[in-house]
Amino acid sequence: MTAPAKRAHIVVVDDEPRIRNMLVHYFEDEGFRVGAVASAEQLRAYLRSEHPDIALLDLNLPDGDGLSLARELRALSDMGIIIVTGRADDVDRIVGLEVGADDYITKPFNLRELLARVKSLLRRLQPATQATVEPTGTPQLFDGWRLDRQQRRLFDPVDREVSLTTGEYDMLCVFIDNAGRVLTRDFLLDQTKGRTWEAYDRTIDTQISRLRRKIEDDVDHPLKIKSVRGVGYVFTAKVGAG
């Protein structure tokens, strides 16, 4: 008998009881496991025993700013973060994505749209699936790293495997295939099927931030994936076969 699939786990972080209850009931009806907290401190306590896949995070909390909390969560975890807030200013949206949120949606929102964004993010967060065929291709090397594309596995310079999500793996493959070329966000969105994810390109910055944390020695001064101001990104590592 096939084991039941693991239910995706969401935690709602919002100090408005009406919003919390609405999201809990809606996502439970959609088959999710859902927790709910009303403050940053309650979330920290929740995370000591629970490991949600995604946090739906309001920015206006009674004991702190949600942007700072998003930054804290990103430093500690690879969980998905969707900011759900009444703050519609473009600066808040950009800063939210820059500090590590995966998506940003403003209140009032359409529940079906939020559900679609949650499902999209869950797909991107899935571990890159290992191929079932025997490896026949030559692994690709860059700065001592090794990417086995037949098996969808990445190894660091001391041969430790580094896990990648589907989104991170797809992004790395695009960079390797276009090493040395400056790539626009539009190109990266198209190549990683991002047009089916979001309506804006800041999601690319978040995905690259995630990938940098996996492959850069210093994420604040990246050497492999460099930003090109006003244009996009360039993968500067020399790619070879090994």
User: Residue 165: which CATH number?
Assistant: 1.10.10.10
Q: pLDDT (tens digit, 9 = 90+) per residue, 9-54? A: 999 999 999 999 999 999 999 999 999 999 999 999 999 999 999 9
Q: pLDDT (tens digit, 9 = 90+) per residue, 148-177? A: 988 889 999 999 999 988 888 989 999 999
- Spatial contact of 143 and 224, defined as CB atoms under 8 Å apart: yes
Peptide bond into 62 cis (omega under 30): no
Q: Would you say residue 4 lies in a domain?
A: no
- CATH number of residue 92's parent domain: 3.40.50.2300
DSSP 8-state secondary structure symbol assigned to residue 147: E
Instruction: Let me know whether 179 and 230 are in one domain.
Output: yes
CB-side neighbour CA atoms (13 Å) of 71: 9
Question: For residue 94, what pLDDT is reported?
Answer: 83
Instruction: Let me know whether 16 and 115 are in one domain.
Output: yes
Residue 130, judged by CB atoms within 10 A of its CB (0-12, 13-18, 19+), counts as exposed
Q: How far is CA 141 from CA 17, 135, 151, 223, in A?
A: 52, 16, 15, 16
Q: Would you say residue 37 lies in a domain?
A: yes
Strand partners, 10: 34, 54
Q: For the chain, how many structural domains are there in total? A: 2
Which of helix, strand or coil describes residue 157? Answer: coil
Model confidence at 242, pLDDT cuts 50, 70, 90, reads low
Instruction: Let me know whether 98 and 170 are in one domain.
Output: no
Instruction: Let me know whether 168 and 232 are in one domain.
Output: yes
Instruction: Let me know whether 205 and 172 are in one domain.
Output: yes
Question: For residue 1, what pLDDT is reported?
Answer: 41
CB atoms within 10 A of CB 8: 20
Q: pLDDT (tens digit, 9 = 90+) per residue, 194-231? A: 544 444 446 778 788 889 989 999 988 999 999 998 88
Strand boundaries in 79-213, DSSP class E: 80-85, 103-106, 140-142, 145-148, 153-155, 161-162, 182-184
Instruction: Let me know whether 119 and 156 are in one domain.
Output: no
Instruction: Let me know whether 18 and 111 are in one domain.
Output: yes
Instruction: Let me know whether 183 and 150 are in one domain.
Output: yes
Question: For residue 32, what pLDDT is reported?
Answer: 96
Q: Would you say residue 131 lies in a domain?
A: no
Q: How far is CA 130 from CA 1, 11, 16, 152, in A?
A: 23, 29, 42, 5
Looking at 71, 91, 125, the residue that finishes a domain is 125
Instruction: Let me know whether 110 and 181 are in one domain.
Output: no
Taking only Cα atoms into account, the Rg of the chain, rounded to an integer number of angstroms, comes to: 19
CB-side neighbour CA atoms (13 Å) of 7: 12
Domain of 172, in residue numbers: 140-241
Question: For residue 129, what pLDDT is reported?
Answer: 56
Instruction: Let me know whether 197 and 147 are in one domain.
Output: yes
Looking at 125, 151, 177, the residue that finishes a domain is 125
Q: Would you say residue 1 lies in a domain?
A: no
Residues 6+ apart with CB under 8 A from 48: none
Q: How far is CA 105 from the centre of its chain?
A: 15
Instruction: Let me know whether 114 and 204 are in one domain.
Output: no
Instruction: Let me know whether 20 and 51 are in one domain.
Output: yes
Looking at 90, 125, 160, the residue that finishes a domain is 125
